[in-house]
Amino acid sequence: MNYPYLAAFLDDHRFANSASDSISTIVRDFETAYQDHYWLEPIAHYGNTKALDLRWKLLKLYTDDTYPIDNVFDVHSYTQNAFDYRLSWMLYITLQSLGSYPLSIENDACLHVNFARQLENLGFWQLAIFVLLHINESTNRKKMINEFLHRHVTSNIDLTQEEQTLVDKYNIPINMILSAKAQRAEYDKQWMNAVRLWIDAKQWRKAHDTYCYYVFHDTLLKGDYEFAKEVLDLLDHQRANIAHWSRRGGFARQYIELLIIFDRIRHGQTSLSNRIHTNILSQVHRLCDQLADVIADKYFKKISLIDISRRLLSILNYALICSNIPNLINDSDENFARKLNLFHQSILSSVPCSLPIDLLLEQIELKYRSHRH
């Protein structure tokens, strides 16, 4: 298909040049000849384009330092398939290894991404990741690898064999894979998996935000306090890396600790000793001290704040009843029995859920001040 221009090139060399002429001279003379219409242009004739043939472009690149390297990677110069970037990519990598100047940041990324997408469409997504590792600019490289990973990793906590291969064979940082899996878990609405994966990836702020916004309220509904304690205790060790920890994750952690005590008392795992009683009221006081700031922060879902406020109001009602019954605080068996009965009534009491959050906060502040004084 390319014979006419190749024959013309050979004839031009035979009749217009001497055996001692350099390749640069031969190429320059033929270029002048076809531009003056003495010979056929070195057209590739692939598809409907008039792209110059790749072999001619490589001769130009070799003989002319000013020839733009971008021209070499036009797929129409060597194939009818406009989406086949195999030769372009391998040629680019070869030229890079020989010391050629790289393409611009945009064109470099574009070539790698185009070939990676070709491999991905053929089912070779792991090889596509390998190709993307060659993107020169680090921000583009990380962005595109993450985008491809997101499409193919699972939302499971454990790495699949294919994901492990990326670590072992292609040296993809495991934290990058774990972060992509966490993003995939969020996309799949597997929130608990997302939290664990963000923690494994050491993305503390992401783990904190995902837990507090998507998992915390389910914790209150389902009573899965042990998972909550495990997550929040881990995050507490990283509080320096989490903005506003004290009124967000830190507040949730204190409240979960209170719920765990309630749960153990309800199931007979903990008796209401004077120490436990004092500890409960101290925790309630700390939570009440922060509640107004937590509500003003508007970080937690409103329904979660209503649930917390109702529970705190119930305990404050209990504390006020205790403080208003003469001698109830004395450590006698009879008083503890009455206390225990009042306590169970309080934690099971239903402050109306229809009360607006502002009214709940107002009542809490009023009763909290009354109890403190």
- DSSP three-state, residue 98: coil
List Cα–Cα distances, 199 to 71, 162, 248, in angstroms.
46, 22, 17
Distance CA 298, CA 300 (A): 6
If we measure between CA atoms, which residue out of 259, 206, 254 comes closest to residue 233? 254
Distance CA 209, CA 171 (A): 29
- DSSP three-state, residue 43: strand
DSSP 214: I
Q: Domain extents for the chain?
A: 1-82
If we measure between CA atoms, which residue out of 113, 112, 91 comes closest to residue 100? 91
Distance CA 254, CA 262 (A): 13
Distance CA 352, CA 360 (A): 10
Distance CA 169, CA 146 (A): 17
Q: Using the structure block, give the residue that is written with the tokens 């008039």.
A: 50
Cβ–Cβ contacts within 10 Å for residue 318, how many? 22
Distance CA 298, CA 247 (A): 10
Return the structure tokens found at 325: 């019954």
Distance CA 23, CA 55 (A): 14
What pTM does this model have?
A: 0.76
Distance CA 223, CA 162 (A): 36
End-to-end CA distance of the chain: 98
Residue 323 CA, chain-centre distance (Å), reads 51
Per-residue pLDDT of the chain (373 residues; tens, 9 = 90+): 444 666 656 655 555 666 667 777 777 777 777 777 777 777 877 766 678 888 888 888 888 888 889 989 999 888 888 899 999 999 999 999 888 878 999 999 999 999 999 999 999 999 999 999 999 999 999 999 999 999 999 999 999 999 999 999 999 999 999 999 999 999 999 999 999 999 999 999 999 999 999 999 888 888 888 899 999 999 999 999 999 999 999 999 999 998 888 788 777 777 666 677 778 778 888 888 888 899 889 899 888 888 888 888 877 777 766 665 555 555 555 665 665 666 656 655 544 444 455 655 666 666 556 655 5
> What values do phi and psi take at 43, rounded to 5?
-80, 140
> What values do phi and psi take at 80, rounded to 5?
-85, -15
If we measure between CA atoms, which residue out of 241, 144, 237, 227 comes closest to residue 193? 227
Return the structure tokens found at 165: 């291969």
> What values do phi and psi take at 52, rounded to 5?
-70, 150
**Is 364 in contact with 291 (CB distance < 8 Å)?**
yes
